[in-house]
Structure 1
Amino acid sequence: MLELHRVTAGYEPRSPVVRDADLTVAPGESVGLLGPSGCGKSTLARVAALLHRPDAGRVLVDGTEIRAWRHRAPRALRTSLGVVFQQPRLSADPRLRLADLIAEPLRATGRRDLLPERLAALVPAVGLTEDLLARRPHEVSDGQLQRACLARALVLRPRWLICDEMTAMLDASTTAALVAAVESYRAESGAGLLAVGHDRVLLERWCDRTVEWAECARGPGENAG
């Protein structure tokens, strides 16, 4: 279970963008977090991904309460979470070839030996082609780069996947392809999903249920998906 209890978080002292928020994702479940831009849902997603320390509240991953964040969090917990952000060009090192971008988590965790096998499986799964792997971010489209970022998020085979506005900058066909890739991985692995976005139609079609951010910096309310 991925659990957030009474989480308060922000970026400035005494100015939280999220207050007393509760959110849970069960193993194998897909949950959509729906709300307008600026309401705090991406901050909550970063807390769930162990990338932002909350000011208050509790976060549990598979029953373990999180007490350290980012690189200080235990490796086993960090690697159980895969994250895809909204803007691939801000989350990709422009110096890396796509193959190296996808391989980053494997190299960081000392698992380079798994790279050929994982690349062979992930490249077609996310809709990339072999010729694209030698290119750098400025040599590919936003959609192609986001496919590589999704492959990077999946390369360690996480138990939890957090997609923060993953398709917001993409056309309809690329959106459909990425959602299909996520669902194929989930069907095979049993991973849970937190999908953050402002497109109600997409989230309600994609997810088992949606959690609607009813008011900025307040707790969410739930709708059936």
Structure 2
Amino acid sequence: MSGTAGQLAAEQVTAGYGRQIVLDRVDLRIGRGETVGLRAASGGGKSTLVRVLALLHRPDRGRVTIDGAPVTGTRYSVPVAVRTRIAVLFQSPRAAADPRLSLADLIAEPLRATRRPDDEIRRRVADLADLVGLTADLLGRRPHAVSDGQLQRACLARALTHRPDYLLCDEATAMLDASTQAHVAAVITDYQRTHRAGVLLVTHDPALMNRWADRVVDLPPSGVVPGRP
């Protein structure tokens, strides 16, 4: 196996918004089966790096690679077989979830986007709901009718629909109570062991970082640097 096999990487990534550069020549590698912790000061670019790695934000310079192969484009311009290898779980489930969808439809949406048969979708949604601890009565409810913890479990199930090789967790447990935090972390850990998934962990909780991460990467403290002409 080569040094680039089995890893998701940001290579010399510079990214920002307009003239404001948030990441400047950043390198980060996540191997299959490992948990990498990411630390930085608030506003230091952690969420932007997650979005770049999740193929949601195009870097200004540098590139994202999977197993050493560069990934061009973002979102739906990336082939299904590539983009479904990466999933992301965000901090706020309410910001990430369409309020018009039931939890069942929220989980099913990525499968419908790739035109899976209806029978397969129903089975997969039921299996994932069981995995994350959502009961059948909750699946028919919309986000406004469930708690943050229940909604985040649905978002986790949604993230796992395509059995991703890499799961990016951006403060994914920050808004949850202690018991739901522990449950979400346990589901992710079990999934990681079963599928040898690489996990990126962004958290301000040092105890969680120390307990979960195999290694920790610190983004430069300068965080935001002035835009260049």
| Distance (whole Å) between structure 2 residues aligned to residue 32 and residue 117 of structure 1 | 33
Aligned pair in 2 of structure 1 residues 63, 214: CA closer, same or farther (>3 Å)?
A: closer
SS of the counterpart of 1:60? strand
The CA deviation at 1:27 is 1.1
SS of the counterpart of 1:168? coil
Deviations 1:79-127 (A, max 9, x none): 1111111111111000100000000100000114422222232112112
**Matched-pair contact (CA < 8 Å) for 1:8–1:54:** yes
| Distance (whole Å) between structure 2 residues aligned to residue 216 and residue 126 of structure 1 | 38
The letter of the residue matching 1:185 is Y
Deviations 1:170-210 (A, max 9, x none): 11111111000001111111111111122121112112111
| Distance (whole Å) between structure 2 residues aligned to residue 111 and residue 193 of structure 1 | 26
The answer to whether residue 192 in structure 2 is matched with residue 191 in structure 1 is no
The CA deviation at 1:25 is 0.5
| Distance (whole Å) between structure 2 residues aligned to residue 2 and residue 55 of structure 1 | 18
| Distance (whole Å) between structure 2 residues aligned to residue 97 and residue 120 of structure 1 | 14
| Distance (whole Å) between structure 1 residues aligned to residue 12 and residue 219 of structure 2 | 15
Residue of structure 2 in register with 1:130 after alignment: 136
SS of the counterpart of 1:131? helix
Q: How many residues align?
A: 218
**Matched-pair contact (CA < 8 Å) for 1:34–1:203:** no
SS of the counterpart of 1:143? helix
Aligned pair in 2 of structure 1 residues 175, 216: CA closer, same or farther (>3 Å)?
A: farther
Q: 2:38 aligns with which of 33, 42, 58?
A: 33
Deviations 1:119-143 (A, max 9, x none): 2321121121111000000000001
The CA deviation at 1:214 is 4.2
TM-score, normalised with respect to structure 2: 0.91
Residue of structure 1 in register with 2:182 after alignment: 176
Q: 2:152 aligns with which of 129, 146, 150?
A: 146
**Matched-pair contact (CA < 8 Å) for 1:37–1:198:** no
SS of the counterpart of 1:51? coil
Decide which moves more: 121-130 or 160-169: 121-130
| Distance (whole Å) between structure 1 residues aligned to residue 137 and residue 92 of structure 2 | 23
The CA deviation at 1:217 is 2.1
Q: 2:60 aligns with which of 55, 58, 63?
A: 55
Which ranges in structure 1 are unaligned for 5 or more consecutive residues? 219-225
**Matched-pair contact (CA < 8 Å) for 1:4–1:21:** yes
Alignment of 1:63-212 (within 5 A): 63-112=68-117, 113-212=119-218
RMSD: 1.5
**Matched-pair contact (CA < 8 Å) for 2:133–2:153:** yes
| Distance (whole Å) between structure 2 residues aligned to residue 199 and residue 153 of structure 1 | 22
The letter of the residue matching 2:136 is E
| Distance (whole Å) between structure 1 residues aligned to residue 43 and residue 158 of structure 2 | 27
**Matched-pair contact (CA < 8 Å) for 2:34–2:214:** yes
Identity %: 56
Aligned pair in 2 of structure 1 residues 86, 146: CA closer, same or farther (>3 Å)?
A: same
| Distance (whole Å) between structure 1 residues aligned to residue 41 and residue 223 of structure 2 | 12
